[in-house]
Homo-oligomer: A and B are copies of this chain.
């Protein structure tokens, strides 16, 4: 990294927020994606929104590449700089600028932690539904860049459904304002939604305005065991067919159940194929009816156990089984490959079976859990990156799983992004026309290709 550029960057953000020592560069050299590591040339932490623009203008002028980064919880290598470029770290920009109770919006800086926003708005009787698994550390900037999902996606949608306005610094440092507090806006192309899920390749957010909704009055949490996988899958279909849309409809398979029980001792049985965690929320009368409807469907499908949480504490305990799934699986082996193949929800049962068969075929341990109501599964391979033979088999297995996902009308990533980890599968999904259009857009917005280069395509 050019010493003069580092000096210029330090003049913008300050010496103490320009990190170029070995230890710092090592810390920013990886994110939550396994098998990937690469040290940046320098890390800068802007202290206000304008500094983002100044950093970009400098790098654009110098032809130096920039990777924006929040908390580094990215699961597709999106927050790693692979070319010794600049990491633009947003964590100092962590102000909740406004909660507008009249227009039901919140405006935040990109470094605000997702669950901090949850707490602030819920204290006012409002609700920001997106709740990615990493919400206690992930930032809003990262959530918007990746279009993060979460456990409440089935009823409430994902981050994209809540983004109303953005301030974004383009590659050359020019500020672009899109959307705002109006709930209807069709003036020109929908750049807001183009920027959401662009994975830091089209611009760097400096301000985000999201929609809020009234907080649901109450909720009911249910945990259900099924001896057979098909019973759980049919239950999911029949709940939707009964015109009930739960807030949460989560699934754990046998491998995951065993790991969770070993880890958290929440009383899960070891002889069932599937567990569903179901939450309904809203008006008390609706919650009662929907919970009763769900119980009837589960029993008709032959569930072996049905528990409704009697208290909020008990609800938390039931939800623990799902919330700890990843940690429970991750402790079994040194390397955890967490994927997010997503299919139309009607294809959940064949998809889980295919994952299990593929695991057997390649002699791998794959636990599957995830958002059954969304068709968004997390097949999680437990392996060891030092075992090259096993890692190779894992890659071959996931290649087959993604091909099958696409054949079922699904997608290679429901909520984790393409980054570098899924690049090779994207052409299969979007075809030549899709790639051509995406490359054209990237070229139009970032002609010098300095923004998070090498990601997506």
Among the 9-residue stretches A11-19, A298-306, A309-317, A437-445, the one with 4 or more Cβ atoms under 8 Å from chain B is A437-445
Q: Are B194 and A194 in contact (CB under 8 A)?
A: yes
Once A177-B434, A188-B457, A434-B191 are accepted as A-B contacts, the answer to whether A414 and B286 lie under 8 Å apart by CB is: no
Among the 9-residue stretches A267-275, A368-376, A384-392, the one with 4 or more Cβ atoms under 8 Å from chain B is A368-376
Q: For residues 414 through 457 of chain A, which have their beta carbon under 8 Å from a beta carbon of chain B?
A: 414-418, 422, 426, 429-434, 436-438, 440-441, 443-445, 456-457
Q: Are B429 and A437 in contact (CB under 8 A)?
A: no
Tell me the number of copies of this protein. Answer: 2
Return A414 CB to nearest CB of chain B, in Å: 4
Return A144 CB to nearest CB of chain B, in Å: 11
Kindly identify which residue among B187, B289, B411, B414 contacts A411, using a CB–CB cutoff of 8 Å: B187
Beyond A102-B344, A191-B437, A285-B285, 4 additional pairs, beta carbon < 8 A: A147-B190, A149-B184, A153-B184, A158-B184
Q: Are B415 and A176 in contact (CB under 8 A)?
A: no
Chain A interface size band reads: 35 or more
Report chain B residues within 8 Å CB of A241. Answer: 101-102
**CB-nearest residue of chain B to A102:** B346
Once A193-B193, A433-B174 are accepted as A-B contacts, the answer to whether A103 and B186 lie under 8 Å apart by CB is: no
Report chain B residues within 8 Å CB of A283. Answer: 283, 285-286, 289
**CB-nearest residue of chain B to A446:** B440
Q: Are B438 and A191 in contact (CB under 8 A)?
A: yes
A181 in the interface (beta carbon within 8 A): yes
Q: Are B437 and A444 in contact (CB under 8 A)?
A: yes
**CB-nearest residue of chain B to A127:** B243
Report chain B residues within 8 Å CB of A149. Answer: 184
Q: For residues 126 through 167 of chain A, which have their beta carbon under 8 Å from a beta carbon of chain B?
A: 126, 146-147, 149, 153-154, 158, 160-161
Q: Which residues of A contact B (CB under 8 A)?
A: 100-104, 125-126, 146-147, 149, 153-154, 158, 160-161, 170, 174-178, 180-191, 193-194, 196-198, 202, 213-215, 237, 240-241, 243-245, 282-283, 285-286, 289, 342-346, 371, 374-376, 409-418, 422, 426, 429-434, 436-438, 440-441, 443-445, 456-457
Report chain B residues within 8 Å CB of A176. Answer: 431, 433-434, 437
Once A102-B345, A188-B438 are accepted as A-B contacts, the answer to whether A375 and B183 lie under 8 Å apart by CB is: yes
Tell me the complex Cα distance, A184–B374, Å. 7
Return A133 CB to nearest CB of chain B, in Å: 13
**CB-nearest residue of chain B to A428:** B187
Return A178 CB to nearest CB of chain B, in Å: 7
Q: Are B412 and A187 in contact (CB under 8 A)?
A: yes
Kindly identify which residue among B126, B186, B197, B374 contacts A190, using a CB–CB cutoff of 8 Å: B197
**CB-nearest residue of chain B to A376:** B184
Q: Are A182 and B410 in contact (CB under 8 A)?
A: yes
Report chain B residues within 8 Å CB of A147. Answer: 186, 190
Once A214-B245, A441-B441 are accepted as A-B contacts, the answer to whether A342 and B102 lie under 8 Å apart by CB is: no
